[in-house]
Chain A
Amino acid sequence: MSTPVTLRVENISKIFGRVAAVDSLSCEVRRGELLGIIGPNGSGKTTLVNLITGFVKPTSGRIIYDGRDITGAAPHKIVCLGISRTFQMVRPFYQLPAFKNMIIPLYSPRVRQQAGGGYGDRDAVALDLLEEVGFERDAHVAYKPAGTLPQGYLKRLELAKAIALAPDLLILDELFSGLSLAEVASVVPVIEKLRAAGKTIIMIEHRLKELFRIADRIMVLNYGRKIAEGTAAEVMESEEVKKAYLGSEE
């Protein structure tokens, strides 16, 4: 491939007590691609995201982003370099209207730096961003307290918060979980639009069918190790992957 590597994870490990959540894992993400990461529960997917975004410090190994070593950097600094993520468990500010939830990311130094100083009217920008992820403007959903919104909107709010930071690399941690088929179908175009805009995306998913449809490449983790990598078809052919998902026959 000719496209440059934007994120390189080198031999990274994270050991919690006596358990290696991520075990000397290496991988690369190329600019503009959509990498899907799958694996059974507890295989270290979220820990890997936490390592990349700085929320967890690695026991060993290096993370290089755009030629810069970001291993162990503070999470807020990593965001300002252009990596933003969503959380698996959404915890919005329940009493605040949905669009007011957007104010905090819009207050970010990253936004100021990208927009060349100031974003102008944050409320207006927040409403625009929410409309982009599917908050229908006429229905006034954006004005309702976040606590009253269904899961589908909360996940989209989480996505909008990540997009607000104008990331180059977007990491979506189980964005589809807890969403109905219809809700997933409404989010997929948003992701495709982001790809068209040239964003690099890493998606962690349990919803394989939806993921395989949009991902360029799939990486499979089990017990903190990479057990397969390739296109969706290649990955599903792998004996190791079958064993991890269906259990070994021994």
Chain B
Amino acid sequence: MKKRRERIDRGIKVRSEDIYALCSWREMLYLAGPRVLPAAVFLLLPLFLGVYWQKVMLSVAVFALLAMSWDMLAQSGMISLGQALFFGMGAYVSGVLNFYFGLPPWITIPLATALGGALCTIVLLPVLRLRGIYFSMVTLIIPLMLVRIIEATKIFGGTEGLSGMTPLPAGLIEVYLVTGVFLAVLFGLRRLMETDYGLVLKGIRDNDRSVTNAGINIYWFKTQALFISSAIGAFAGAFMTHIYMFVGMPVFALDYSILPIAAAVVGGVGTTAGAALGAVLLVPLSEALRGIGGLRIVMYGLFLVVFIVAVPEGLFDYIQRKYHQMERWVEIDK
């Protein structure tokens, strides 16, 4: 008796919307599982990790924030190659506020999030009309320019940077602060992009003329998207300033621009959760590869290539699709 695999879409998916989702615990679990489980893992994991892996988790959350911020911008039709601008701006704002004005971290971090976001938005405002690769080029260049400006004018400590920031209370508090923000941004952005507001942003990406033709000022909406995205990046930067107790030119480094994009591409562009998933995979991988020394970057690059070739749609989309499908073996007659 020969068998073949038959694929069926879960009927449960169709019924898992609206009131039907509350019909049985199975259906509730089916819906809630993929959302609650990762959140629970993130909230419980720090309790079982050593100091080193707690630091890795910080790094995961920070890069996930940058990746999600990149992805949100990409969903609104703006491909940024300069997440380092957002990160660095947040880092410097909180650094300056703490160093020169002596403000405590619980004031500098929220202030740097808002102010850094606003500054990035203002810096990019003139190029908001540019589309596609032209916008990307400008975002790539600006952080590199800022580095040279800091170097040349010796402003804010110049090449030395500013050090001796007030640290955050070590241990679980710093981990939970960033994890909490990470989860809030993840679920918040996913919710936001599903609303009618998010639909307008995605509409600008797909066909901006059609959105303009609806009487909507696309530049005002793009400005808002840019602010949300850069504020998320600025938070990540401000947070890291108080972790490192230092802010300097490295905050504008290319790593902060490239790694979030890699994470979003591996995880799946346009899903927010994909960007987070990518960071969860790539950051620990990069840490684990530290042991092998010089070939680390080669291995890392190889991993990226394999992933992009094998799962071009992105890991999150793949998993989501499989989750909604069931396969079973059926017997073939004859």
A binds B: yes
Q: Is the CB of B213 within 8 A of A107?
A: no
Instruction: Look across to chain B and name the residue whose beta carbon is closest to the beta carbon of A108.
Output: B215
State in angstroms the CA–CA spacing of A93 and B200 once bound together. Answer: 11
State in angstroms the CA–CA spacing of A107 and B217 once bound together. Answer: 11
Bitwise interface map of A from 226 to 247 toward B, beta carbon under 8 Å scored 1, else 0: 0000000000000000000000
Q: Is the CB of B212 within 8 A of A104?
A: no
Bitwise interface map of B from 198 to 239 toward A, beta carbon under 8 Å scored 1, else 0: 011011001101111111111000000000000000000000
Q: Is the CB of B209 within 8 A of A165?
A: no
State in angstroms the CA–CA spacing of A75 and B213 once bound together. Answer: 7
State in angstroms the CA–CA spacing of A91 and B216 once bound together. Answer: 17
Contacts of B213 in A (CB 8 A): 53, 75, 79, 84-85, 87, 161
Q: Is the CB of A103 within 8 A of B217?
A: no
Contacts of B197 in A (CB 8 A): 107
Instruction: Look across to chain B and name the residue whose beta carbon is closest to the beta carbon of A161.
Output: B214
State in angstroms the CA–CA spacing of A105 and B199 once bound together. Answer: 11
State in angstroms the CA–CA spacing of A109 and B211 once bound together. Answer: 12
Q: Is the CB of A104 within 8 A of B214?
A: yes
The range of chain B's interface size is: 10 to 19
Asked whether B333 is an interface residue with its Cβ less than 8 Å from the other chain, the reply is no
Asked whether B196 is an interface residue with its Cβ less than 8 Å from the other chain, the reply is yes
Q: Is the CB of A103 within 8 A of B215?
A: no
Contacts of B210 in A (CB 8 A): 87, 91, 104, 161
Q: Is the CB of A104 within 8 A of B209?
A: no
B199: which of A53, A104, A165 is its contact (CB, 8 Å)?
A104
Instruction: Look across to chain A and name the residue whose beta carbon is closest to the beta carbon of B217.
Output: A76
State in angstroms the CA–CA spacing of A176 and B186 once bound together. Answer: 45
Which A residues, 159 to 213, have Cβ-Cβ distances below 8 Å to chain B? 161, 165
What's the minimum C-beta distance from A85 to chain B, rounded to whole angstroms? 7
Contacts of B214 in A (CB 8 A): 76, 79, 104-105, 107-108, 110, 161, 165
Asked whether A144 is an interface residue with its Cβ less than 8 Å from the other chain, the reply is no
Contacts of A74 in B (CB 8 A): 217
Contacts of B196 in A (CB 8 A): 103, 106-107, 122
Contacts of B211 in A (CB 8 A): 104
Contacts of B199 in A (CB 8 A): 96, 100, 103-104, 107
What's the minimum C-beta distance from B194 to chain A, rounded to whole angstroms? 11
State in angstroms the CA–CA spacing of A158 and B207 once bound together. Answer: 13
State in angstroms the CA–CA spacing of A56 and B218 once bound together. Answer: 16
Contacts of A107 in B (CB 8 A): 196-197, 199-200, 214, 216
Q: Is the CB of A91 within 8 A of B207?
A: yes
Contacts of A96 in B (CB 8 A): 199
Instruction: Look across to chain B and name the residue whose beta carbon is closest to the beta carbon of A95.
Output: B206
Q: Which of A84, A93, A161 has the most CB of B within 10 A?
A: A93
Bitwise interface map of A from 32 to 67 toward B, beta carbon under 8 Å scored 1, else 0: 000000000000000000000101000000000000
Asked whether A219 is an interface residue with its Cβ less than 8 Å from the other chain, the reply is no
State in angstroms the CA–CA spacing of A53 and B209 once bound together. Answer: 12
State in angstroms the CA–CA spacing of A53 and B203 once bound together. Answer: 20
Contacts of B215 in A (CB 8 A): 76-77, 79-80, 84, 105, 108-111, 165
Bitwise interface map of A from 86 to 102 toward B, beta carbon under 8 Å scored 1, else 0: 01000101001000100
Contacts of A77 in B (CB 8 A): 215
What's the minimum C-beta distance from B216 to chain A, rounded to whole angstroms? 6
Q: Which of B207, B210, B213 has the most CB of A within 10 A?
A: B213
Given A93-B203, A104-B200, A107-B196, A87:B216 Cβ within 8 A: no
Q: Is the CB of A76 within 8 A of B203?
A: no
What's the minimum C-beta distance from B196 to chain A, rounded to whole angstroms? 5
State in angstroms the CA–CA spacing of A235 and B205 once bound together. Answer: 43
Instruction: Look across to chain B and name the residue whose beta carbon is closest to the beta carbon of A53.
Output: B213
Q: Is the CB of A109 within 8 A of B216?
A: yes
What's the minimum C-beta distance from A189 to chain B, rounded to whole angstroms? 24
Contacts of B202 in A (CB 8 A): 93
State in angstroms the CA–CA spacing of A165 and B207 once bound together. Answer: 18
Bitwise interface map of A from 105 to 139 toward B, beta carbon under 8 Å scored 1, else 0: 11111110000000000100000000000000000
Instruction: Give the top 7 A-B pairs by smallest Cβ distance, nearest first.
Output: A79-B215, A108-B215, A105-B214, A110-B215, A108-B214, A80-B215, A104-B203
Q: List 10 A-B contacts (CB under 8 A).
A: A84-B215, A93-B206, A100-B199, A103-B199, A107-B196, A107-B197, A107-B200, A108-B216, A122-B196, A165-B214
Known A106-B196, A161-B210; further 4 A-B contacts with Cβ < 8 A: A77-B215, A79-B214, A85-B213, A104-B203
Question: Which chain A residues have a beta carbon within 8 Å of chain B's beta carbons?
Answer: 53, 55, 74-77, 79-80, 84-85, 87, 91, 93, 96, 100, 103-111, 122, 161, 165
Question: Which chain B residues have a beta carbon within 8 Å of chain A's beta carbons?
Answer: 196-197, 199-200, 202-203, 206-207, 209-218
